[in-house]
């Protein structure tokens, strides 16, 4: 059993560090203004947006006990705070956690 765990750790570590190593080697040839770089950037942001939307619309766990209107309201307020704080991510993140817990417990 212990040898299987060590083998799994070694294989996953190799896969993780190999992809990072290849990324470092090939990063010298990538220009930030290239079309492929912008495409990957858009792909990453769209995947993140889809995950956030899934969490808000179809939550699991404790978040499923909170009404949809409350979840959407907190997201709206957090986006508004994001732009009011000049695109700072710390304040909306803390704000959303505090407001969501308060609204979930008292509404």
Question: Same structural domain for residues 18 and 62?
Answer: no
Sign of CA dihedral 85, 88, 94, 98: positive
User: What is the predicted pLDDT for the residue at 1?
Assistant: 63
Q: What is the pLDDT of residues 14-56, one digit of tens each?
A: 999 998 898 888 888 778 888 988 998 899 999 999 999 999 9
Q: How far apart are CA 92 and CA 78, in angstroms?
A: 5
**Rounded mean pLDDT, 74-91:** 95
Residues 16 and 56 in one domain: no
Question: Are 41 and 24 within one domain?
Answer: no
Are 69 and 97 members of one domain? Answer: yes
pTM above 0.85, yes or no: no
Distance CA 39, CA 88 (A): 24
Total domain count, the chain: 2
Give the residue numbers spanning the domain of 26: 1-30
Does residue 35 sit in the same domain as residue 84? yes
Sequence-separated (6 or more) residues with CB below 8 Å from residue 57? 68
Residue 36 tokens read as 């492929």
Phi first, then psi: what are they for 34, rounded to 5°? -75, 160
Give the rounded percent of residues in the chain with a pLDDT score beyond 90: 66
């Amino acid at each position: 059993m212990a040898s299987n765990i060590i083998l799994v750790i070694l294989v996953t570590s190799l896969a993780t560090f190999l992809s990072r190593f290849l990324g470092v080697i090939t990063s010298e040839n990538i220009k930030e203004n290239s079309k492929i770089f912008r495409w990957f950037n858009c792909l990453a942001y769209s995947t993140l947006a889809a995950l956030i939307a899934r969490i808000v619309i179809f939550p699991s766990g404790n978040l499923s006990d909170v009404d949809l209107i409350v979840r959407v309201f907190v997201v709206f307020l957090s986006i508004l705070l994001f732009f009011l704080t000049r695109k700072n991510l710390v304040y909306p993140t803390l704000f959303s956690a505090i407001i969501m817990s308060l609204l979930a417990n008292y509404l």
